[in-house]
Structure 1
Amino acid sequence: MKNIIVALILLLLVFCANGQDWKWKNPIPTGNILNKVKCIDSLTAIAIGKKGTILKSTNKGLDWSIQTSGTDVDLNSISLVDKDTIYISGEDHSVFKTINGGEIWKKVFKGSGGSSIATQVFFVNAAIGYLLGGSMRLYKTSDYGKTWIDLNVSTEFQNVSFIYFTSENVGYGVRDCELLKTIDGGITWSQKRLSKCSVYKSIFFIDENSGYLVGSSGTILRTNNAGESWTVLNEFPANLTNSNLESIEFINNDVGFVVGQKEILKTYDGGNNWEIIHQSKLDLFSISFFDSVNGIAVGGDWLNGIPEILNTADGGNNWNENSYTATTKYIDKIKFVNKNIGYSVGGHVTATYSGYIMKTLNAGNSWNKLDTGLDTYWINDISIPNIDTIYVVANRGQILKSSDAGTTWSEQNSNTSENLYAVKFLNTSTGYAVGNNGTIIKTNDGGDTWDKQDSPTDGTLRSLYFKDINTGYIPAYEIDSTILLKTIDGGGNWIKKSIGTVSDPRGIDFVSTDTAFIAGSSGGILKTSDGGNNWEQSYQNGNNYFDIFFTNKNTGYVVGDRGEISMTEDCGNNWTAVKSGTDKQLRSVFFTDVNTGYAVGRNGIILKTTNSGSCLRAFNQSKYFTCSYDTVLIKPNFVGGTKPVTYRWEDSQTTSSILVSPNYETTYTVTITDFEMNSIDIQIPVYATTIPTPEIRLSKDTLISDSEYGNQWYWDQNLIVGATTQKIITNVTGDFHIIVSYNNCHSEKSNTIHFGLYTSIQTLDRDFKIYPNPVSAMLTIEHLNNFEDGIIKLVGINGQVIFTQKITEDVVQLNLSEMPNGMYLIQLISDDKIITKKIIKK
């Protein structure tokens, strides 16, 4: 019994009009390995790869543009229906579809059991397609990808690595030593042992009978009888016996191509004979041809994570590289002099003298290595006090200086052999550098001489910041504690202070006189709002951060492991990760303005953004609570977008925040549009609490509210302390009302009830004097001789007796200093007479 497991509606992916948020500037066109390529028509090709990479070329592979895929998973198969309709699949068992030749992609299916095992999508025609899953699953669609059926192949498909269909009903599945075949559209499968075991990677049929298999150890098999038998083809160079063949394609019955590892093979006689026609620098995984002469091969270097794109225009006799890599080394720091001129520095662990400097003159679009003329250790940082003067610091205490914008370089005596990790020049004369074992050195003469400064730590120092010529900060890490070194005398003295638990702090940035951030390992970002005296956690997600940079007092970025770029636009209150397009370590970030920024790191990665690092994205909308008709200021939470952005609320206001006074729960909508006309709608609910006006009634000596909760009773317009129940009993005359409170909101004043005592139990022929009133501590009561043998009572306004004393003297003093503030009653009772007076304690 076959089960229909899911029916999916196409989901439109949200994307910026200009595509990728961060664009590759090294390598070019991408820094992700490419797994598959498919020529669509005589000019157009699609290539896919790691981290959701989709590339499109419209000039036979000479130039490529990055398409928005909407996913970060590795993509590994392409199935072409026609020049407009294309399917691709990813490692999470997802299928994506385009109906406009790759301009817009939509996810149309995601199977169960998603894993890192590669999946494959294969469409026989426009309606019928199959998806091979990594968990012994095979799905089928017969309605153009709208619904998918699980064919329940189970253990039949254990270890099957790829599929191929020659018609609606006839298809093949391949594993190491066996071929599986169906003649009923995947319902049942027969098994046949292959003539040679191998790790097979690709299958291709010229027609329903003639097909080829390629795999490990240079294996190529051919069938001429629809898979009933297979012949091992050994007529190819012996040095291929250790090569893993990855992909095969024939352009007609006789001419075919195979790629694998670093070779491209070609046959002119239907596979009887093969020759190596090209040796590439990097491994190749896929090949496809536009026609008999124009073709593309793609792949990459797994170790360094860089792609390979080759194209031929003469039937494969000559192949040209159409990918470019300025460097594959680590880039540790990037800085710009202005919007066009920038420098990047780094190194690699494989060589002693691996340090290098690159320069761009065109805003990062191309980079050239500078020749220092020196044996250079790994360079860790760069400082540019003016457009011509440049300093770099490296391992083993090396400092290089250029006074002609990088054309020539000289080495300075740093007075240390410790690795130097950070350098900062405050002007062309005064500079600092820091490094291993607490090393701090300073120059006052442009680096001609460097002097060591006394350091209160032997920790590793990786960054520094100076507010002015005298005030500087250096973060570090000692046992179980982040420390901050501070000087207020230009480094003459450094004071050490423990500030938190962020290990290996690598970046520090002040956004104002009082506000600063420190980023380090284990996902820590610390923030101070008082100039560095106190620090608190701003962000913690477990990742390791290497650099932090703020473009203004609110907008900042951190970069770290696994390609993470996170940004804040509210001064560190919230951080959100944006799509970088890579999973490689990022080590430095720098912005030349609020929109234009760069991130660099491992394997020579250089990324650039021109939209502040992210498309417009809403996040973490605040919840607003107010009372009916009270005024509250609301504003949207979002990140990204090319600045400036504009706001438009439903009532046509155009400010970034608005004042509202709702009477009930109301949702306010604002449209935010950036400079490139990308826009988002954000809905902000405001929860307004309305409390009905209460009613009170009198029953004998009991006052009763119609509200069960939230009551506060008043007597003669004064709050009765502690009187918050639904009912109170009173024996005093006066006017009573209530106000009901809930969620910090208050009702209108209730109706007022006047309560009067019987004159038969209160006479005024006797009186007494009390002072002071209001009273804060000692209350004096006089003329008590008129109440011989009587008693004094202190009564709460809701009737509770707090104090009782027999009258024995003419004057009595009561200490009320410990009593709560509020209204109380003093009662003098003698025989059947009662005199009551009100006092206020404050």
Structure 2
Amino acid sequence: MKFLNPDFGFAVGNGRVARTTDGGDTWEIVHEDHTYIQFYSVSFFDDLNGFVVGSRGEILRTNDGGLSWTRLTQSSIPPAALRIDDVYFLDNLNGIAAGEGEGGGVIYRTSDGGINWSLEDVGATPIFRRIGFFDENTGVAVGRYGIIRRTNNRGETWANPQLNQATSQLFDVHIVDDAFGCAVGETNIVITTDAGLTWQKQDYTGSWLFGVHFLNREKGFAVGNGGRVYGTVDGGATWDHVATIEPPRILRRVTFADSLNGVVVGDLGTVGRTTDGGLTWSGVELPEPYENSLFAVSFINSTTGYAGGLGGIILKTTDKGATWVRKNSKTHQSILGMHFLSETQGAMTGTFGQLLRTESLNTPVFHTNKSTVTFDDVQIGTMEQRNVIIYNLGNALLSIESIFATDTNFSVSHNSAAIFPGDSISLIIEFSPSKTGLYESDVIFEHNSISSPDTVKIIADAITSVAGEKNNLPTEFKLYQNYPNPFNPSTSIKFDIPHYAMVEISVYTILGQKIAVLLNKELAAGYHSVVWDASRLSSGIYFFHLKADNQTFVKKAILLK
């Protein structure tokens, strides 16, 4: 479940997406799929941007605030996903999803707002159940058989922690701050105090635990079988049985609206509550008896919260859990998890799901494929180029009013640009060093997206000559074979100029049609290179020409997509 504000929210279930505009009092189905897909988790990273993950790695997307939803292309769907249990977004571009694949646990990563997902190498692992992050770089995924995997680079790579004393299944993990976290499961509690590097098993011999929540580093609660609530006041070192919610059924989740008011939910409509910070707990009588088990609970602010569970049941409280009212979700599929980062940021999991994405209404999103560009060992008197792809990941026109380099030894191919939603352009950065040494510069982008201004860092090294080469200038014009070749989508073309000359480098199709001019300017004698970005062209054979001093040199390039 995800609420963008106290009135406007979404719930997911068996191939369905439901929307409310009145705080959950009424719900309407805005998307329905009949392919038996299960929903497991949805995460939003701003007022309207979010994702849902589920079985088969399906991905759906909305660009109108959730009024309509469409399936993304098959190329962006995570491969081999049977179900996705959890999703976590670090920002509007970078997200992690985890769950079950054909061979065990799988983790996927996106760096473009969920348009494309890559399957990360986590080795042969059991199924993952939950994800948590300590900061924007460091996080963990936990799951079956006590599996824990840790990343320190925003999910690019995952490894075993240095120490993991978990010995059985882990069902939940709660991260308290940038170093402290707790995971619980089958007679299992493990604690980390070093951002997931080591996990120490705690002194606990009670029942199975399915949910955990810490108010701070010292004080936390865990819930599980038999309606039992366990508490710790020493950072998880010891745990006491502090209450049993009657009747004694399995408790699935625990959360707190503030430091005093907490709620637990569980099987057969069980709801419990504390108003004194967990010192005492009591059952909450619902307005009507429910046989539906409750698997999820979350608060969007200090008073308003939601619980969800079997058969798509949704309960709402506006008084910190004292009373609950059933809401019509218009779905019969189970809701497995809820999490709200704020009143406008949250997540929901459920059965039979896909990965869904909703984008900000009328908002452009600036993104580049590189944050840093490097030039190595460029000779004085020569010129080299690098390309950067600029994307608009939003659903409104991205207007870039200004593009410039802060050092005059660098130049850019565009001073401004307009990029339509879902489109991109190639920016060429050219380096012509005037003296030897290390250069550092920035390319500044000023635009109408919320992240403006954005920068791409440039690091370059200029030398007098390349080791092993003669110090004298080239003695003839020469065009080298592009590298790489075949290529996709860009390649580098090097060429030599023996004296000051007007130089043109153009690209032709196999039928002789000129389709691009990569360079048309006067160059000094030296060793040069240009970059050809062919991202907008189809696969095939192309020819690039070097023209100078009434001479023409030709090489063949193969674009293979």
Q: What is the TM-score with the length of structure 1 in the denominator?
A: 0.31
Report which of the two structures shows the higher radius of gyration computed on alpha carbons: 1
Q: What is the TM-score with the length of structure 2 in the denominator?
A: 0.46
Quick one: higher RCO (CA 8 Å, sep 6+), 1 or 2? 2
Greater strand proportion: 2
